[in-house]
Amino acid sequence: MRYFIALEIPEESKHELKAVQREIEQIIPQVRITNSEKLHLTIAFIGEQPEKLKDRIVQVIAQATSEIPPFSITPAYIDGFPHLHTAHTFWVGVKGDIDKLVIIEERIKDGLIGLGLDPDDRRYVPHIAIGKISGDFQLQPEQEAKLQEMMVRNSFEPIHISSIKLFESIPEEGFHRHNTLAEVALSPESSIGVSSA
C-alpha cells in the first residue's frame, strides 16, 4: 500500500483554492492543475509499505497528536519547489497555528523512524500543492507580480483542523485516487503550550 499522512481540505476551502488555480492557469498557461478533490496538506509521505503496518502507523498518528487540541491554519502565499522562479510544483503556504502542525510532523517522523521507516528528512514546509509544470520553467517578473497580487486580492477563510488522516494513494489510469484508511481526532479537551505563528 502507498501511504501518506495528511490534513484533508474542507470543501469551502477547496472552492477558494480552485479560484486561485483558475487564475494561475491564466498567468502560467503551461501549468497542470491538481484536481481540487485531491487537495490536501501532507504531513508525511510514507510510500509503499505492507498492509500489516497500517495499524501501527495509526498508533504513531494517535501518539503524535496526543494533547494537541484542534487548531486553524489559513492559506496565505504562493511558492514553488524547488523555488518559485524555476518551479516544477506550485503550492500555497499557510499561516496560523503552524507550531502545532510542526510538532505533529516531528512526532510523526520520530514515530515512523521507530517503525524502521525512513521518512523525508528535508525541512518541513506546510503547503497545499495546487499545480505542476514540466520541462525547464522560468517565472517571468510580470508573472511573479501577478501571482503575488492574486494572493493579496483573494481572501481565505481559516481551515479548522480537528483530525489527521492516513491515506492510501491508488494508481488509476495514469492518476492517483486517495482513499481514507483512518482518521485520528484531535481532542478538544487537550491543551498544549504552543502559540500561534
Q: pLDDT by residue (tens digit) across 94-146?
A: 999 999 999 999 999 999 999 999 888 888 999 999 999 988 899 999 999 99
Residue (of 188, 191, 147, 166) closest to 45 by Cα position:
166
CATH code, domain carrying 92: 3.90.1140.10
Q: Is the pLDDT of residue 173 over 70?
A: no
197 inside domain: no
Confidence of residue 190 (pLDDT cuts 50, 70, 90): low
Q: pLDDT by residue (tens digit) across 144-159?
A: 999 999 999 988 999 9
% of the chain with per-residue pLDDT over 90: 78
% of the chain with per-residue pLDDT over 70: 93
What is the average pLDDT across 56-62? 97
The predicted structure's pLDDT at residue 187: 82
194 inside domain: no
Q: Is the pLDDT of residue 83 over 60?
A: yes
Q: pLDDT by residue (tens digit) across 29-54?
A: 999 999 988 899 999 999 999 999 99
Q: Strand, coil or helix: what is 156?
A: coil
Higher pLDDT, 100 or 173: 100
CA distance 37 to 18: 10
What is the average pLDDT across 3-18? 94
12 inside domain: yes
Confidence of residue 196 (pLDDT cuts 50, 70, 90): very low
193 inside domain: no
Q: Is the pLDDT of residue 75 over 80?
A: yes
Alpha carbons within 13 A on the beta-carbon side of 18: 11
191 inside domain: no
Report which DSSP code applies to 50. -
The predicted structure's pLDDT at residue 174: 55
* DSSP-assigned states of every residue in 68-87: ---EEEEEEEEEEES-GGG-
Extended strands (E) in 1-117? 2-8, 32-33, 40-48, 71-81, 89-96
44 with 120: CB under 8 angstroms?
Answer: yes
131 inside domain: yes
CA distance 185 to 153: 34
186 with 164: CB under 8 angstroms?
Answer: yes
The predicted structure's pLDDT at residue 189: 64
Confidence of residue 195 (pLDDT cuts 50, 70, 90): very low
71 inside domain: yes
Range of the domain at 30: 2-185
Higher pLDDT, 63 or 178: 63
- Domain tally for the chain? 1
